[in-house]
Amino acid sequence: MRARTIAAVTAYTASITAANWLTAHYGLITLAPGVTATAGTLAAGVALLARDLVQDTAGRTWVLAGITAGAALTWATSPALALASSAAFLVAELADMGVYTPLRDRGWARAVLASNIVGGVLDTLIFLWLAGFPIVAATVTGQLVGKIVWATLLPVAAVTTVRRWRRAVPRHAVGT
């Protein structure tokens, strides 16, 4: 197995585990006046982005392995969160396959943005419901801002900017 694949699967599993650990220990947090989210929202958003990297480098089977490993590691902290998280990530992954996979050939950024929006909404609603958190506008908004804006739009913008810069700068100038 290549180092890049191992790193992607590890990041995916670790972000799932971190999201659940943070949520188990800190519950809901205030992001802004009237806007709340689970403490693990940003880590869950990173997981959505890492999932696409795993799918690209290792395939869908490894995505499912990452969900399983994340659930197993979370079980020690909270069996209820482990079940809610794995169900939410599994449904989000199925949606991701329907959105990311067909769009991937048209560009990475387009595929990630579209799939993370769909996956973020599904993951949020299913996780909040199964984990027993309130599904109210303030919490859903906070979850989506964390997952889509902070953990998807900003990293995608950064990667896109670096890629454009690298294409614009002559190769011999990059190494000097």
Average pLDDT over residues 128-155: 90
Cα-flanking dihedrals φ and ψ of residue 148, to 5°? -90, -45
57, 165, 176 from 117: Cα distances, Å:
21, 26, 39
Query: What pLDDT, on the 0 to 100 scale, is given for residue 19?
Result: 95
User: Rounded mean pLDDT of the chain?
Assistant: 90
87, pLDDT greater than 90 = yes
Residues 40-56: pLDDT tens digits?
998 998 898 898 899 99
35, 121, 124, 149, 165 from 141: Cα distances, Å:
7, 10, 10, 11, 33
CA angle 101, 107, 109 (to 5 degrees): 95
Query: What pLDDT, on the 0 to 100 scale, is given for residue 171?
Result: 67
Give the separation between CA 22 and CA 153, rounded to whole angstroms: 22
Q: How many residues does the chain have?
A: 176
Query: What pLDDT, on the 0 to 100 scale, is given for residue 31?
Result: 86
Q: Is 35 helix (H, G, I), strand (E, B) or coil?
A: strand
Residues 156-172: pLDDT tens digits?
999 899 989 988 987 66
Average pLDDT over residues 70-92: 94
How confident is residue 176, by pLDDT bands cut at 50, 70 and 90? low
Percent of the chain exceeding pLDDT 90 equals 65
HEC profile of 71-140? HHHHHCCCHHHHHHHHHHHHHHHHHHHHHHHHHHHHCHHHHHHHHHHHHHHHHHHHHHHHHCCCCCHHHH
How confident is residue 151, by pLDDT bands cut at 50, 70 and 90? confident
Query: What pLDDT, on the 0 to 100 scale, is given for residue 73?
Result: 96
How confident is residue 125, by pLDDT bands cut at 50, 70 and 90? very high
What is the pTM (predicted TM-score) of this model? 0.87
Query: What pLDDT, on the 0 to 100 scale, is given for residue 97?
Result: 86
Cα-flanking dihedrals φ and ψ of residue 115, to 5°? -70, -35
How confident is residue 83, by pLDDT bands cut at 50, 70 and 90? very high
Neighbouring-strand partners of residue 37 = 29
